[in-house]
């Protein structure tokens, strides 16, 4: 699980890093920010929704439950950082420091897991032969080839996304939140779906939550620290997309902290939330760049999830707690 929440989460988030970093260095801040926010919303709603539809996700590990409040707090901190319209280099370095602290927390929390959970992973490790037997030279070559492909693929996606935004006459942030976020989120889809099919719900949930946390801490931190003047945060991201991300994280609270599982109906609701978000983005695409404060559209979109959150809280509180 430590590998799943760190190495795997970072690995499946590497396309976001490649695209967002190149966008930030090229001055396309909207694409960089949109990719990070959009990918995180995608992880928390579409990924978990698909995983739960495949099989109900029973979350046994305490670490995953710790991650949800961490993510909620991170989004709030990110929103405060963005109030001045920019995430500067110092704030980027602070996010990177937070990423290091989170990784340490993951490693230390592993020792506190229940005997049942530790036995589950011991069995899986034995079935896998104990450890990877890939020679070091081959592993290093794969890393180099993967990095080269990531750089080239990121450049192609960046060029295509920017041209798409120009052709459609919409803000690059919208393309980053949708086309780019979904494209770079495909590795998380593969990892989460495979974990759900193999009846390993902890890994499915851990990858979705861990990738979202690393998106904010590592990817956004690297981009803000590397960009010459930091990252500009548009009013649309501040007053629409970040609140939606925060609500997506809040929707996990009753499920993870009180219920301990994501049922199929809850998975369907998460999918409805995501496709509803895409619909609102498409409907308001041309007015997004003109936002200067919270939009009535935002309140109209978030009102049903608030009611859903209250219903989930009541239902999860009455549900027997997962062991």
Considering only CA atoms, which of 180, 168, 188 is closest in space to residue 33?
Answer: 180
Domain with 136, as residue range(s), is 2-318
Q: Are 194 and 257 in contact, with CB atoms under 8 Å apart?
A: no
Considering only CA atoms, which of 19, 280, 23, 298 is closest in space to residue 174?
Answer: 280
Considering only CA atoms, which of 29, 2, 32, 9 is closest in space to residue 212?
Answer: 9
Q: How many CA atoms lie within 13 A of 97 on its CB side?
A: 6
Residue 286: which residues within 8 A CB-CB, separation 6 or more?
169, 170
Residue 91 included in any domain: yes
Helices (H), the chain: 2-3, 9-12, 14-25, 29-42, 48-54, 62-81, 89-110, 115-127, 136-168, 172-175, 181-184, 186-197, 201-214, 220-226, 235-236, 242-250, 252-253, 264-283, 296-318
Whole-angstrom distance, CA of residue 139 vs CA of residue 159: 30
Whole-angstrom distance, CA of residue 42 vs CA of residue 65: 19
Residue 267 included in any domain: yes
Q: CATH number of the domain that 112 lies in?
A: 1.20.1420.30
Domain count for the chain, please give it.
Answer: 1
Q: For the chain, where are the E strands, in sequence order? A: 57-58, 86-87, 231-232, 261-262
Higher pLDDT among residues 56 and 83, named by residue: 83
pLDDT band at 178 (very low <50, low <70, confident <90, very high): confident
Percent of the chain beyond pLDDT 90? 12
Residue 232 has pLDDT above 80, yes or no: yes
Residue 323 included in any domain: no
What per-residue confidence (pLDDT) applies to 223?
92
Residue 44 included in any domain: yes
Q: What is the pLDDT of residues 132-151, one digit of tens each?
A: 556 778 877 877 787 677 76
- The torsion region of residue 43 among left (phi > 0), alpha (psi -120 to 50) and beta comes to alpha
Whole-angstrom distance, CA of residue 243 vs CA of residue 227: 25
Q: What is the pLDDT of residues 79-131, one digit of tens each?
A: 999 998 899 999 999 999 999 898 888 777 766 666 776 776 677 666 655 55
Helix H or strand E segment including 235: helix 235-236
Q: What is the pLDDT of residues 283-306, one digit of tens each?
A: 766 565 555 555 666 666 677 776
Residue 141 included in any domain: yes
Q: Determine phi and psi for 262, rounding to 5 degrees.
A: -115, 115
Residue 59 included in any domain: yes
Higher pLDDT among residues 129 and 9, named by residue: 9
């Amino acid at each position: 699980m430590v590998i799943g929440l760190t190495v795997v989460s970072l690995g499946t988030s590497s396309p976001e890093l490649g695209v967002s970093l190149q966008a930030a260095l090229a001055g396309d801040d909207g694409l960089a920010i949109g990719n990070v926010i959009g990918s995180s919303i995608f992880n928390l709603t579409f990924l978990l929704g698909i995983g739960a539809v495949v099989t109900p996700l029973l979350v046994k590990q305490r670490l995953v439950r710790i991650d949800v409040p961490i993510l909620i707090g991170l989004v709030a901190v990110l929103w405060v950082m963005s109030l001045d319209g920019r995430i500067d280099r110092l704030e980027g370095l602070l996010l990177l420091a937070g990423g290091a602290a989170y990784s340490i927390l993951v490693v230390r929390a592993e020792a506190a897991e229940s005997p049942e959970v530790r036995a589950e992973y011991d069995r899986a490790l034995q079935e896998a032969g104990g450890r990877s037997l890939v020679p070091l030279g081959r592993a290093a070559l794969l890393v180099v080839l993967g990095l080269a492909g990531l750089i080239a693929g990121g450049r192609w996606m960046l060029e295509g996304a920017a041209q798409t935004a120009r052709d459609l006459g919409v803000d690059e942030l919208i393309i980053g939140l949708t086309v780019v976020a979904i494209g770079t989120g495909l590795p998380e889809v593969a990892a989460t779906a495979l974990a759900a099919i193999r009846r390993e719900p902890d890994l499915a949930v851990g990858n979705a939550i861990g990738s979202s946390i690393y998106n904010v801490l590592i990817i956004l931190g690297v981009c803000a620290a590397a960009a010459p003047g930091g990252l500009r945060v548009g009013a649309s991201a501040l007053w629409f997309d970040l609140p939606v991300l925060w609500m997506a994280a809040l929707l996990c609270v009753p499920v993870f902290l009180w219920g301990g599982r994501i049922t199929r109906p809850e998975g369907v609701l998460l999918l409805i939330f995501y496709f509803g978000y895409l619909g609102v983005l498409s409907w308001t695409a041309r007015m997004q760049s003109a936002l200067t404060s919270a939009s009535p559209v935002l309140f109209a979109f978030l009102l049903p999830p608030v009611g859903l959150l209250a219903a989930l809280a009541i239902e999860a509180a009455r549900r027997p707690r997962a062991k």
